[in-house]
């Protein structure tokens, strides 16, 4: 879901101005995608071991990235605070 929201949001804001209705639609679409993926995984008989390891690895990677990028923010548009114009804390 976080990947879907990020990709869809920045894809449409590259072409048109940010609109609340589109943001809400993107959220609903991302939730539906997340639920469909979850349903498919729950209905699967047995997942391969590499998928379990990949899931744990991605969770650890996201946790490290979140902690690191909170304090050491690259000066990219995606991390810019729209109110203050600053980056990070």
Q: Is the pLDDT of residue 32 over 90?
A: yes
Quick one: DSSP state of residue 79? G
pLDDT band at residue 18 using 50, 70 and 90 as cut-offs: confident
Q: By C-alpha distance, which of 31, 26, 28 is closest to 11? A: 26
Q: Which residue has the higher pLDDT, 21 or 78?
A: 21
pLDDT of residue 36: 95
pLDDT of residue 50: 93
> Taking the C-alpha atoms of 71, 77, 81 and 82 in order, what is their torsion angle to the nearest 10 degrees?
180
How do residues 48-73 score in pLDDT, each as one tens digit? 899 889 999 999 999 999 999 888 88
Q: How far apart are CA 49 and CA 30, in angstroms?
A: 26
Domain boundaries, the chain: 1-45, 46-89
Q: Cα 67 to the chain's mean position, in Å? A: 15
């Amino acid at each position: 879901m976080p990947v879907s929201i990020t990709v869809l949001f920045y894809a449409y804001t590259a072409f048109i101005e940010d609109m609340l209705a589109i943001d809400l639609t993107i959220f609903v679409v991302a939730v539906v995608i997340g639920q469909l993926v979850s349903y498919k995984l729950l209905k699967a008989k047995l997942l391969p071991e590499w998928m379990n390891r990949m899931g744990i690895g991605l969770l650890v990677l996201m946790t490290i990235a979140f902690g690191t990028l909170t304090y050491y923010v690259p000066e990219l548009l995606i991390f810019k605070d729209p109110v203050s114009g600053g980056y990070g804390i």
